[in-house]
Amino acid sequence: MDTTLDQQISAANASGRRPVVFIHGLWLLPSSWDRWAAVFDENGYAPVSPGWPDDPDTVAEANAHPEVFAGKSIGDVADHYTEVIGRLDRPPALVGHSFGGLLTMILAGRGLAAASVAIDSAPFRGVLPLPFSVLRSSAPALGNPLNRNRAVPLTFDQFRYAFANLVPPAEAQELYSSYAVPAPGEPLFQVAAANLNPWTEAKADYHNPGRGPLLIVEGVGDHTSPPAINRAAYKLQAENPGVTEIASMEKRGHSLTIDSGWREVCDVALAFIRRFA
């Protein structure tokens, strides 16, 4: 565990407040949640923003040493977050974006969440739609089988399509410079084969009655996690006896947690967590 995370966990436990664990997805770092963490802190929660195993501290460091991202599977990362949650004195709320949304649903399915918000999530086993935009967004990794064991960066044009398709060009460039880092290829290959592999790590126990309340948030203009995926995930998660809701963010792409409209999405997540945690 890194020093910053140790400090966040210690502060959360000492505060007596409900922890909120923020889970980032591919091509981003924990710092992508900094503004969200500040809002939740101001509203009485104890934010904790763990990285994936071996995440560098900064975007510059990440781009200088992309090899540190390689070889991380969904199971590796889910177990890492399970360990982090186990160090908290109270069950946390979870907020995840993209592959972080998938991890949020996996962890909630393990009974580890007081409430969860999954934003533009990667699909889990059982989610069947596969729109063309998803294939195009994933092509930088899936286009070469050797990328399974590599770290895969995005060019600006690839980032523009996958994340920043609905923001102005200047903002897209700023987001790319400020946030984009390489990502492990393996999770994308795992998700791509999830419905063909009964033993896949890309699965969520959506029937577990201990899952807790779940909100799925979709960006209606998202190329990487379009509405068809989020609504299919919602249909499965709604089989759970607990509260399952979905919220649609109009004219928003995959960058909705980091772009200039982030606060609107943050407030939707905060309102849901306030109701249940």
Domain ranges of the chain: 3-276
**pLDDT, tens digit (0-9, with 9 covering 90-100), for 75-103:** 999 999 999 999 999 999 999 999 999 99
pLDDT, mean of residues 189-211: 97
Helices 99-109 and 74-86 cross at an angle (nearest 10°) of 60
pLDDT for the residue numbered 274: 98
Nearest one of 225, 190, 209, 210 to 75, comparing CA atoms: 190
**pLDDT, tens digit (0-9, with 9 covering 90-100), for 96-117:** 999 999 999 999 999 999 999 9
pLDDT for the residue numbered 129: 93
Strands ordered across the beta sheet of 19-23: 46-48, 19-23, 93-97, 115-119, 214-219, 244-249
Q: Which residue has the tokens 């092509």?
A: 139
**pLDDT, tens digit (0-9, with 9 covering 90-100), for 133-154:** 999 999 999 999 999 999 999 9
Structure tokens at 87: 């160090």
pLDDT for the residue numbered 172: 98
The CATH number of 3-276 is 3.40.50.1820
pLDDT at 1 over 70: no
| Residues contacting residue 241 through CB under 8 Å, at least 6 positions apart | 209
On whether the CB atoms of residues 22 and 33 are closer than 8 A, the answer is: yes
On whether the CB atoms of residues 71 and 184 are closer than 8 A, the answer is: yes
pTM (2 d.p.): 0.97
What CA–CA distance (Å, rounded) separates 24 from 50? 9
**pLDDT, tens digit (0-9, with 9 covering 90-100), for 235-252:** 999 999 999 999 999 999
What CA–CA distance (Å, rounded) separates 214 from 143? 33
Question: In sequence order, what DSSP letters do the residues of 93-118 get, joined into one string?
Answer: EEEEETHHHHHHHHHHHTT--SEEEE
What CA–CA distance (Å, rounded) separates 23 from 33? 8
pLDDT at 171 over 60: yes
DSSP bridge pairs for 211: none
What CA–CA distance (Å, rounded) separates 237 from 243? 9
